[in-house]
């Protein structure tokens, strides 16, 4: 009686499982990287959206002193979200936005948005 040779060998199955594991590992790496980039973009966007409110506050008061998130939201823009006013003085301010555990700062009004604290 002849042997039936249909089906996959154990080695072939192991090769398929290893290839699938490698593809999953690559996909997880891309997903994590994409999540970090999306969080960074959201944090920077939070600050960008708030900048006109900072400028309006300064125009109305002649200073940034006394500027708080509550004042910005109630008097200038309800869209100001996800930021923290670290400091506000006569000629400038420092704000922070944190998303996914990563913080971005703006030492305003002229400095760029960076990951460096403006302490």
Contact criterion met (CB below 8 Å) for 57 and 68: no
Stretch 41-67: mean pLDDT: 95
Distance CA 58, CA 108 (A): 11
pLDDT at 2 over 70: no
- Proportion of the chain above pLDDT 90, given as a percent: 71
Q: Indicate the pTM of the whole model.
A: 0.74
Given pLDDT bands bounded at 50, 70 and 90, which one contains residue 26?
confident
Query: What ranges make up the beta strands (E) of the chain?
Result: 84-88, 93-99, 102-108, 113-114
Which strands make up the sheet holding 93-99, listed edge to edge?
A: 84-88, 93-99, 102-108, 113-114
């Amino acid at each position: 009686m002849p042997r039936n040779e249909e089906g996959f060998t154990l080695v072939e199955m192991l090769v398929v499982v290893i290839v699938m594991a490698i593809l999953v590992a690559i996909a997880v790496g891309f997903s994590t990287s994409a999540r970090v980039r999306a969080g960074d973009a959201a944090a920077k966007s939070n600050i960008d959206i708030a900048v006109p409110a900072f400028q309006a506050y300064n125009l109305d008061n002649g200073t940034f002193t006394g500027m708080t998130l509550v004042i910005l939201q109630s008097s200038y823009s309800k869209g100001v979200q996800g930021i923290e006013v670290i400091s506000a003085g006569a000629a400038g301010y420092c704000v922070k936005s944190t998303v996914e555990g990563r913080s971005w700062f703006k030492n305003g009004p002229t400095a760029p948005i960076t990951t460096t604290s403006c302490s």
